Amino acid sequence: MQEKLYAAVDLGGTKIYAVLAENCGRILSSVRYDTQLDQGPEGILEQMAISVREVLAQAGAGSDRLSAVGVCLAGFFDWQRRVLIHSPNIPGLDQIRMEERLSEKLRVPVLAENDANAAAIGEARCGAAAGSQDVLYITVSTGIGAGLVLGGQIYRGTRGFAGEAGHMVVKPDGFLCGCGRRGCLETVASGTAIARAANEVLQSGKATLLRELSRQQGGTVNTATVFRAARDGDKPAQEIISAAIYYLGIALVNLVNMLNPEIVVIGGGVSAAGEDLFVPLEKAIQNFAIPPAAASVTLKQAILGVEAGVTGMLCLLTEAERIREG
């Protein structure tokens, strides 16, 4: 008998990434498209269906071999009604029965999940935290998100909104956040926050290495630029990085005290800074978290990168199948 196939789709604000995999997890084919935001919700649902048909075609597999499809995206779900309430990255994708609608198009069961939860499951099942039951996954990129895997399962909270670590208030008198409140973690420690602070330094006219690096990059600065300048001894860049790490450290210490995780995995673009980020964060946990919680936690860099979401969805699909088959 031929192996069952599963497709997973990561729907982002700029890209749609789809993969086809065998039951065991081996990836057979993949496609990446630009998300057609101008096509509206209907067009985006259709684009996701097309991406699944395309990975099947690429692998030379008939649609009869497809068992189920998993979709992950940044969004708030109503899990009781199985409705996507809102996606911050994709305008118009509100109050949609995404699983039902895609299932009608593809004629197989569809499972949808928040992208940070999917990435958390990916890292917890077969990534940096493989084998661990209590994992806190934090992604630090343009924004900051988190997924909690507690007792081996996604922890959702009472209505499904658990894990909004980016909106932990760490600086009450700080900047206004996209969520409408002030001082959220992502206003001071995300890639966006680091780049904004760098631009403020540039505009202030201070002497800084950032000016030359920015010129080399066509007038732009990003997190990598600031980490590089800091490593080369640039004071203003070092101050920006220390501030971001200080606030990220506060959030991590509180989360470690609250959840007593076995492993904290940090992913997202900012985690590419490696030791420059992980060494001071590790120190913050060891110095400020309650000693028994600090002693039992390991901080790790995510290893699945852009594959984290689809990997997590493939894990969830095969686990759901196992439960169905008893």
Segment near Zn ion (CB under 5 A); pick from 9-17, 121-129, 159-167, 268-276: 159-167
Nearer to Zn ion, 177 or 316 (CB): 177
Q: Candidates 127-135, 163-171, 260-268, 292-300 — which segment interacts with Zn ion by CB under 5 A?
A: 163-171
Helices and strands (H and E) in the chain: how many: 11, 12
Q: Examine residue 144 and tell whether it contacts Zn ion (CB under 5 A).
A: no
Complete edge-to-edge strand list for the sheet that includes strand 135-140: 153-154, 144-150, 135-140, 263-267, 298-301
By C-beta, is 5 or 177 nearer to Zn ion? 177
Minimum separation from the CB atom of position 167 to Zn ion (A): 4
Among 28, 179, 243, 293, binds Zn ion (CB under 5 A): 179
Q: Pick the stretch among 11-19, 75-83, 169-177, 203-211 that binds Zn ion (CB under 5 A).
A: 169-177
Of 182 and 211, nearer to Zn ion (C-beta) is 182
Q: Does 177 bind Zn ion (CB under 5 A)?
A: yes
Residue with tokens 């996209």: 178
**Helix pair angle (191-204, 223-231), 10° resolution:** 60
Which of 167, 228 has the CB closer to Zn ion?
167
6 strand-pairing partners: 21, 68
Min dist. Cβ of residue 189 to Zn ion (A):
12
Size of the site for Zn ion (CB under 5 A): 4
Q: Smaller CB distance to Zn ion: residue 179 or 320?
A: 179
Figure out which of the listed residues 101, 125, 167, 228 binds Zn ion, where binding follows CB under 5 A. 167
Distance CA 67, CA 321 (A): 9
Judged by CB under 5 A, which of 48, 49, 112, 184 binds Zn ion? Answer: 184
Residue type, 243: A
**Tokens representing 48?**
């996701």
The CB-of-185 to Zn ion minimum distance in angstroms stands at: 8
Cα 268 vs. chain centroid, distance in angstroms?
6
Query: 227 vs 247, which CB is nearer to Zn ion?
Result: 247
CA distance 101 to 128: 34
SS3 assignment, position 91: coil
CB atoms within 10 A of CB 238: 16
CB nearer Zn ion, residue 149 or residue 248:
248
Report which of 131, 71, 58 is spatially closest to residue 103, judged by C-alpha positions.
71
Angle (nearest 5°) at CA 45 between 79 and 47: 140
Point out which residues bind Zn ion (CB under 5 A).
Answer: 167, 177, 179, 184
